[in-house]
Amino acid sequence: MAISAARMDRLISETRKSDPRISIDDNFRNFLSFLAEPFYDVDSRSCRVKKGVRSYGFRTTLIRNGMVRMLAFETDAMTLRYSIKKNPYHSFVKFLMVTEGSLSVTVNGVRTLKPEVNQVLIVDPTDDITYATARGTKGVSILLASNYFHARSSHLAALFKELLISGKTPRESCFIGALEAVRRHIPSMAPDEAEDYCDGLCAFLRPVLSECFKDKEKAFSTHQDFLRACAVDAMFKHIGDASVKADTIAREVGVSTRYLSDLFKKTGKTVMNRFLELRLERASTELRDEAFNEFSIEEIAKKNGFVSPAHFARVFKKFYGKTPREWRTAI
């Protein structure tokens, strides 16, 4: 499939490693270069090499395109604190796995998680997260747009916040093995291959999430949060059907239409406003997704529940400040 020049500009593969001729601080700054994108919110005062370290070594390979960020890393003892800036249009999901050494992940300064070697942690990267590693830690971090994640895994990312995949079942072991294989290949991977590999990872992840889905209510602080998440999941399932209204969503969640309306009013939105946001979010993702290069704007609009291309263009521009065509070609 041909790749546009604009898309090629968004495809990046970059390997960096420490240089023993320069200072610890300069090496650490080079390590932090993978965070040099405007959507990262980095607490620079909390990013540092562990005290007492006489030299700092690292090696990173970053693969970046419109939908995916892959980072294979090796690092000595250090601490990072950063998040992805919250965005009303897009959300994200992150996979983390350590293959050597150790990693602790502190979420919002409250919960500290310590995945063991070859365990996978799925987190919401818009949370305020502090990462701390020991000397000689190796691993992989993969960042995906939530809409991409949902389209490939058939599950809503919010339902699996702070999920630890430990390899306790054959399904989990298969996913962990697939992620480790991807990690090993990242240094030789072409950027335009990244989405294909993530498609495969999500296919391995799908049965794992299906197992976890049975206990999904435990992930929410209130039953109302859980019901809203179930409603959003139902919206995703019907996202291409323009005839679906709030009563259909309420019926699938198992509540009355009025009760569902009241649940969403507490968030400042109506049910159908939220449904429209999801349709626009997924359409915006697909407009920049290589897998949809052959789809016309009208086809993408239709598969996301917009009967009229003119209506789609109008509400898209109101939401994003660009027409669908401008959005598709923007770098």
Q: Which of 264, 230, 266 is nearest to 249 (CA)?
A: 230
Give the pLDDT confidence of 70-113 residue by residue, as tens digits. Answer: 999 999 999 999 998 877 556 789 999 999 999 999 987 778 89
pLDDT at 2: 40
C-alpha to C-alpha distance for 234 and 249, rounded to whole angstroms: 6
Q: Are 213 and 166 in contact (CB under 8 A)?
A: no
pTM value?
A: 0.70
CA dihedral 316, 322, 328, 331 (to 10 degrees): -140
Q: Which residues pair with 132 in a beta bridge?
A: 79, 104
Grouping H, G, I as helix, E, B as strand and the rest as coil, residue 281 is helix
The lowest-confidence range among 50-64, 209-223, 266-280, 301-315 is: 209-223
**Taking the alpha carbons of 208, 232, 199, 179 in that order, is the dihedral positive or negative?**
negative
Instruction: Output phi, psi for 224, to 5 deg.
Output: -65, -40
Give me the domains of the chain, ranges plus CATH numbers.
5-217 (2.60.120.10), 220-329 (1.10.10.60)
User: What residue type is assigned to position 69 of the chain?
Assistant: R
C-alpha to C-alpha distance for 209 and 118, rounded to whole angstroms: 18
Q: How much of the chain, in percent, has pLDDT values that exceed 90?
A: 58
Q: Are 92 and 100 in contact (CB under 8 A)?
A: no
- The full DSSP string for 116-132 is PTT-EEEE-TTS-EEEE
C-alpha to C-alpha distance for 203 and 207, rounded to whole angstroms: 8
pLDDT at 51: 86
pLDDT at 215: 58
Is the pLDDT assigned to residue 6 strictly greater than 50? no
Give the pLDDT confidence of 159-185 residue by residue, as tens digits. Answer: 677 889 999 999 999 999 999 999 999
What's the average model confidence in pLDDT over 147-157? 79
Q: What is the average pLDDT score of the chain?
A: 87
Is the pLDDT assigned to residue 5 strictly greater than 70? no
- The full DSSP string for 242-264 is TT--HHHHHHHHTS-HHHHHHHH
Helices marked H in the chain? 5-9, 24-31, 146-153, 170-185, 194-212, 223-237, 246-253, 257-265, 271-287, 297-303, 309-320, 324-329
User: What residue type is assigned to position 148 of the chain?
Assistant: Y
Instruction: Output phi, psi for 112, to 5 deg.
Output: -110, 125
* Tokens matching residue 48: 């540092």
Grouping H, G, I as helix, E, B as strand and the rest as coil, residue 43 is coil
